[in-house]
Amino acid sequence: MSLRYQINIRILLTSVLILLVGGVMAIWQAQTAVNKEIESSLNLAAQLIQLNVPQTGKPTQTVFAVSAWLPHVVSLEQTRHLHIQLQKPNGEILKFTAAAKLVADKDLPPAWFVNLVSRHYQVLEQQLLTDDGQKIILTIRADPLDEISEAWKESQAFFLSLLVMAMLTILAVNLVFNKAFKAISVIVDGLKDLEQGCYQQKLPEFSTQEYNRIAKAINHLTDVLAVANQQNSALTLHSLEIQEEERQRLAQELHDELGQSLTAIKVMAVNANHNPAATASITATISEICDHLITVVRSMMRNLHPLLLTELGLKASLEDLINYWHERQPDLLLRLHCADSVAHLEQKIAIQVFRVVQEGITNIIRHANAQQATIHLVVNTLASGHQQLLLEIADDGQGCLVGQTPSGFGLLGMRERVKSLGGTMDIQSAPAQGLVIKVSIPLR
């Protein structure tokens, strides 16, 4: 169900409810006004009769001259909302010269409205005696039809006003919706372009503040995704270049070290077969070459994959890595604080953490110009019962501003490795105050 349909239905239901409540109030108000007006007219007529008809002391009979008092009766007939009759005992009704009060058919209210508004009104009767001794009955009845007609017209105007207001409200809301839906359509199209990787397309500014804020947020997201996409593309290309360089280096080492050494061993073996006297010296030389080959193979294996990581776990591999750098960088003091529980991490997590530490030490040696560095690695248990791996790599090097950390592939590669494990990486640094890398990785 669309938003436009929901809002229109709610407006329509609200308008119907208002019409119903307004109708009840209008009928109640019309009934009150009609009854008040009729009672006022009846009271006025009763007072006029008492003032204009001479009294004889009898409460039910009054002697008067018809020719003299008929004009007064005619004047009573002109009173609003009253129906006055002079009737002889034989049923004959005396005629008046006053103009009859008529209500046009088109102005007549419907019967249901008349029944709702009107009620039973009191009938006033007065017995009169003419000067020639004839009895005449003066009857005054309420005639609320013209008052009800006025109330009906007012009610019609009231309902028409409500109807016009409801239609104008629906029209105004739909006009606003048309404008809003156009903006939403533009935003949806922009999101579709973003989904297809079109990061150059930007949403325009909108006159509505809320839509404009959404557009700015999406444009900012587009810029961030564009930068991330560029970094990922560059990182992928860099990884392929490193892979190709590693293959080339391995091929070169295999050719220079293993190939030449094996060739030398073969030549010396042939010489030992033809010159038995030189067997001892040839054997010693072959042993030296084999020791060299073992060192080369171990170095190649360490670069490809640390065997200690598979055999003894992450802690032993990190200790071996620290010892490796101690031999090659004696001026850099490296400290490792690693909990024993780290040794039994999953292989997938262990290799990524090892590579992060390896890259972190490499960055310190290349860029930090530090005297010492510390590596902390612990497993922390949260209040919820879940565990997380906390890694911190800190140095006392030259540091940098947080927003100006080196944009090389080292930190980017570390961040991607941590992200692949569902973790987070935070960098804290300041000029001349070193750099701290904090990594948090959730564990099962």
Residue 405 pLDDT greater than 80, yes or no: no
Q: Which CATH architecture has domain 309-443?
A: 2-Layer Sandwich (3.30)
Categorize the per-residue pLDDT at 170 as very low, low, confident or very high, splitting at 50, 70 and 90: confident
Average pLDDT, the chain: 79
Write out pLDDT tens, residues 22-65.
Answer: 888 888 888 888 888 877 877 777 776 666 555 544 444 555 55
Decide: helix, strand or coil at residue 224.
Answer: helix
Q: Is residue 215 predicted with pLDDT exceeding 70?
A: yes
What is the amino acid identity at position 78? Q
Least confident range of 23-37, 92-106, 301-315, 369-383: 92-106
Question: Cα–Cα distance between 265 and 269 in angstroms, integer?
Answer: 6
Q: In what order do the strands lie in the sheet with 82-87?
A: 61-64, 124-130, 135-142, 82-87, 93-94
Q: What percent of the chain has pLDDT over 90?
A: 9
Residue 152 CA to residue 31 CA, distance in Å, equals 11
Would you give the distance in Å from CA 409 to the centre of its chain?
A: 37
Per-residue pLDDT at 56: 47
- The domain spans of the chain are 3-99+108-170, 200-304, 309-443
Give yes or no for residue 374 having a pLDDT over 90: yes
In the three-class reduction of DSSP (H, G, I as helix; E, B as strand; rest coil), residue 427 is classed as strand
